[in-house]
Amino acid sequence: MELSLTTDLKDQVAVVTGASQGLGKAVAIALGMNGAKVVCLARNADKLAATVAEIESVGGTAEAVACDVTDRVAAKAAIEGAKETHGRLDILVNNAGITRDKLMRGMSDEEWDDVIATNLTSCFVCCRAAAGIMRRSKYGRIINMASISGLIGNPGQANYSASKAGMIGLTRTLSKELISRGVTVNAVAPGFIASEMTAELGDVVLEEVKKRIPAKRVGAPEDVAAAVLFLASKNAGYVSGQTLVVDGGMIG
């Protein structure tokens, strides 16, 4: 992965949820490339191992922790375990997320509950665990991976849009609670980004999508990783409670 944006994260410890693929993997690699020790969380141990290997291949340090973030006890333990193992926790990126797209009239309770639990509740649980650590050290960066769907809505995504809108509201509230302790809380809201998820749409749909994007292209994971990297840096200490939209100008 190539990034022109760099920052000094030497000796810092970062936790990234959903780090086994897609945006989470790109973010984990970017943090590792810039000196952070990255604790990679996800359910799939094999994919996590691949993320760790890639971070190590560019000179970074990382470890894999297989964890289902919808298990509140396990998620809390993973966050606290990062601090216990490495002596500190500086950065938390809540990226874990799923989709269960369907029009509301056909959406089951389980499809609603699964998305809210994975996308929103796990974010709250991880933020709560990390905040306790970061408040005591009087420093921290929390970045929540939202979506433009949480800002504008999207047909067939009542569950997903609600979860991402909830993340944005959570971000603003936690910022007000934590900024006085040196802990910033921000969100990144990607638009259409090249990933396993968008690849399933097919070339025809993606070409139509590009017509709606002023930049005339689908975003790259590196575009999102760069936004996270800035918010995770010491330079972003006066930026908090914000949602940084990365969508090629799609929603204006």
Q: Is 160 a catalytic residue?
A: yes
Angle at 25 between CA 24 and CA 28, to 5 degrees: 85
Contact 4, 58 (CB under 8 A): no
Cα(53)–Cα(99) distance, rounded to whole angstroms? 27
Catalytic residue among 160, 183, 240, 244: 160
Coil, strand or helix at 61: strand
> Comparing C-alpha atoms, which of 7, 125, 13 is closest to residue 73?
125
Torsions phi, psi for 60 (to 5 deg)? -90, 175
In what helix (H) or strand (E) does residue 11 lie, and over which residues does it extend?
A: none
Catalytic residues: 160
